[in-house]
Homo-oligomer: A and B are copies of this chain.
Amino acid sequence: MQTEIISIGDEILIGQVVNTNAAWMSQELNKAGFEVIRITTVSDKKNDIISSLNDAQKRANVILLTGGLGPTKDDITKETLCEYFNTELVFNEKAFKQVENIFYARGFKITEINRQQAELPKSCTPIANPNGTASGMLFDKNGKIFISMPGVPFEMKTMMTESIIPKLKKQFHTPAIIHKTILTQGKGESFLSEIISDWENKLPENIKLAYLPQPGIVRLRLSARGEKYKPLNKQLELEIKKLHNIIPKLIFGYDNDNLETIVGGLLKKNNKTLSTAESCTGGYISHLITSISGSSDYYSGSIISYSNEIKENILGVSKQSIIEHGAVSKEVVTQMAVGVKNKINTDYSIAVSGIAGPLGGSEEKPVGTIWIAIATPEKVVAKKFLFGEHRGRNIRKTALMALDMLRKELLAEKE
């Protein structure tokens, strides 16, 4: 069912507020089988709202509006809807009771301005707002549904979940839609698309693929559409299985997974501990790991050896190796990994040393040159990478690559 969202509010148009409402609504609508075909943000001006309504109803059967229902002068959605649907405001006893209840619960006194919030367009069906004083409104015009909600996120969300989506599902027959995101690490978008192009070309008509790249990660989103949920899910699972057979090593998770959670889960499951020794990432790997609640169960800590003195004095890297090979070398990163693992006494360790940039590059070791080492209970593996020129992205890419290398070692040990 074709659906549009109209977000009303100057605060979005000047960039002061990010339109997270529309993103949340889109997700919920899609899950319920309503296809959002357009999101429009307009100002708090009558003509803009009316023109966006006019355009939307030409394309969609369901139009959801948020914003402009507050008690102050710049909130003009209600009067605008009266004009658009050729109706008038009337006092609504039930809506007023709701306003009264909320004020009573908060210990506030009702003012004239709040009383006005209980005036609603005569031709609308009111929609209860359990968390606020602005009622929602549903208009049915020639089988097209228009619903206006407040822009306050937690008010809008409760109304959507409790009233609006159930109402819409009842009124319209919606198809089954399933989205599944496959998370990959290790190859850029264009390389990945070459490797999986055969599989991509053979995807059934009703399954669409989208590439969603982020620094260090490419997410592949599959969207399947069909009549019934169960066979559709089976069909989708089959395609994911095929993909997994092509790139088993590149896939690290699905949907909202992330590497720090996955690695943490593996360590915890195997009852193993981890430490890190970071040079160019400057604590970012440690930050990712400790952003997960409960990480102290498996993570002991880190030595951030930004200076060579720390590499030598605390991690025990040999001065000779630094002089001969440089701090960004296989020799040094390997000694860092072994050093921190022994010093902090953990089962595994990660060590990184590189040139994050933009300064410090040379012809032999340009900016973006990174060495990563993983020490396991049995061995040390070290690998060299050449990332880009952007400091922040190099730090992020290095951290994700290091976590993914550790993930592979943890999985290999298990086998």
Residues of A within 8 A of B (CB): 10-20, 22-30, 36-43, 48, 52, 55, 70-74, 102, 105-108, 111, 113-114, 131, 152, 154, 179, 181, 188-191, 193-194, 200, 208-213, 221, 223, 276, 278, 281-287, 289-291, 293-296, 299-307, 309-310, 314, 343-345, 356-359, 366, 368, 386-393, 395
Contacts and interface: CB of A to CB of B under 8 A. Distances in A.
B40 A39 contact: yes
Contacts of A71: 189-190, 193
B20 A39 contact: no
A293 B390 CA distance: 10
A390 B392 CA distance: 25
27 contacts: A10-B210, A12-B23, A13-B38, A13-B39, A14-B30, A15-B22, A18-B18, A38-B41, A39-B41, A40-B40, A55-B55, A71-B190, A72-B189, A74-B209, A105-B388, A106-B368, A108-B188, A113-B194, A282-B289, A282-B295, A284-B290, A286-B286, A290-B304, A291-B392, A295-B306, A303-B314, A304-B304
A304 B283 contact: yes
B300 A310 contact: yes
Contacts of A30: 14-15
Most buried by B among A30, A38, A210, A303: A210
Contact of A357 (B189, B293, B310, B393): B293
Given A71-B189, A113-B193, A26 B15 contact: yes
Given A39-B40, A113-B194, 8 more contacts: A12-B26, A15-B25, A15-B28, A18-B23, A74-B211, A106-B368, A282-B299, A301-B303
